[in-house]
């Protein structure tokens, strides 16, 4: 029995696993933008600088132009706050870079960061603003966390749970 396992079954199993990973069965074999494509909706919480928390509703749209280029738009609104975040990003060798804008406050800048499996972490920078943005996508669910690095900002962060749809 050990002879059959090592000489017949193990090589076939290894070959099947290798093909599966190369074709894209493993999450790390995919370009990170592929799993984002489409329309997403959901809700979350916005954490204000004064300690208050508000429920927020969001819509996100991700247009994957090719496996390495992405256009995104995330619109959110609470009782007293809203934002419209737009970005263009490119992926190369694990690195993500691009540009972003927030149209309700007329601020824009650059993004840079990394993609690792189902996680994307970037920092958005402008002349007087910086925030970290993390996206984690599992199938039809996604979590988005935005944390400001600006102590003068009226918000501390946003946490959103989205579903594809």
- 44 and 6, same domain (yes or no): no
pLDDT of residue 121 exceeding 80: yes
Share of the chain above pLDDT 70, in %: 82
84 burial level (CB within 10 Å; 0-12, 13-18, 19+): middle
Mean pLDDT of the chain: 82
54 and 17 assigned to the same domain: no
Q: Which domain holds residue 6?
A: 1-29
For residues 121 and 60, state if they share a domain.
yes
Asked if the model's pLDDT at residue 114 lies above 90, the reply is: yes
Q: Is the pLDDT of residue 132 over 70?
A: yes
155 and 81 housed in the same domain:
yes
Residue 30's pLDDT is 55
Query: Is residue 80 located within the same domain as residue 100?
Result: yes
Q: Do residues 81 and 143 both lie within one domain?
A: yes
- Select from 135, 45, 124 the least CA-distant residue to 85: 124
Q: Residue 26 carries which DSSP code?
A: S
Cβ–Cβ < 8 Å for 36, 27:
no
pLDDT of residue 54: 94
- In a shared domain, residues 57 and 22: no
Domain count, the chain: 2
Closest CA to 124 of 152, 153, 147, 105: 147
The answer, yes or no, to whether residue 3 has pLDDT greater than 70, is no
CA-based torsion, 2, 8, 12, 14: positive or negative? positive
Rounded to an integer, what distance in angstroms lies between the CA atom of residue 71 and that of residue 79?
Answer: 27
As given in the structure block, the two tokens for residue 104 are: 């309700």
pLDDT at position 9 is 42
């Amino acid at each position: 029995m050990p002879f059959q396992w090592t000489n017949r079954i193990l090589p076939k199993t290894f070959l099947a696993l290798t093909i599966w990973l190369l074709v894209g069965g493993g999450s790390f074999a995919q370009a990170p933008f592929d799993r984002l494509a489409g329309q997403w909706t959901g809700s979350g919480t916005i954490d204000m600088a004064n300690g208050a928390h508000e429920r927020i509703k969001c819509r996100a749209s991700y247009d994957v132009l090719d496996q390495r280029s992405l256009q995104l738009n995330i619109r959110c609104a609470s009782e007293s706050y809203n934002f419209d975040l737009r970005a263009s990003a490119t992926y190369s060798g694990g690195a993500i870079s691009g540009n972003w804008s927030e149209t309700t406050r007329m601020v824009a800048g650059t993004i840079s960061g990394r993609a690792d499996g189902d996680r994307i972490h970037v920092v958005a920078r402008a002349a007087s603003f910086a925030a970290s943005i993390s996206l984690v996508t599992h199938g039809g669910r996604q979590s988005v966390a935005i944390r400001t690095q600006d102590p003068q900002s009226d918000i501390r962060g946003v946490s959103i749970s989205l579903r594809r749809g």
